[in-house]
Amino acid sequence: MIEELYKEFNIADIEPSQFPSLDLAYIGDCVYELTIRTNLLNEGPASVDKLNRRASSLAKAATQARMAENLRDIMTEEEEAVFKRGRNAKVNSPAKNATISDYHKATGFEALIGWLYLNKDYARLFELIHRGWESLENAESEQKSE
């Protein structure tokens, strides 16, 4: 689909390093949301309300911040640098329903997702998202067993 998008709309190859971190986070937010929604549909039919509640729980800043923290030890140096640039970017809008810390970490996570997407490194993008979700499930299981 991505290649068709580039072809159909005559999109030139984009050099991700040319964009500010918040631009990377802008596209990363969309890519992450599309990944969530596609994954939820893969689980089978459900009410739109149920889908939206589950998607919201995965997309909220606190969840993304936890995922980012859990992924830091497997990020490459370059990925870590992109994450930190996004995390440290000056954000002009206030955090909604999130701590400032979580909001900044979530912005770093979204910047990393956007950077991987624009680099067309889809395998790594999906690997990090999948491992991030696994880390959340593992943490939930540990809490339930305590």
What distance in Å separates the CA atoms of residue 130 and residue 124, rounded to the nearest whole number? Answer: 10
As a dihedral over the C-alpha atoms of residue 120, residue 85, residue 22, residue 95, rounded to 10 degrees, the angle is 130
* Residue 110, CA distances (Å) to 32, 50, 57, 99, 140 in order: 7, 24, 15, 16, 23
Residues 6 or more apart whose Cβ sits within 8 Å of residue 105: 61, 64, 65, 68, 69, 87
Catalytic one among 13, 29, 73, 121?
A: 29
Q: Is 29 a catalytic residue?
A: yes
Q: Just list the catalytic residues.
A: 29
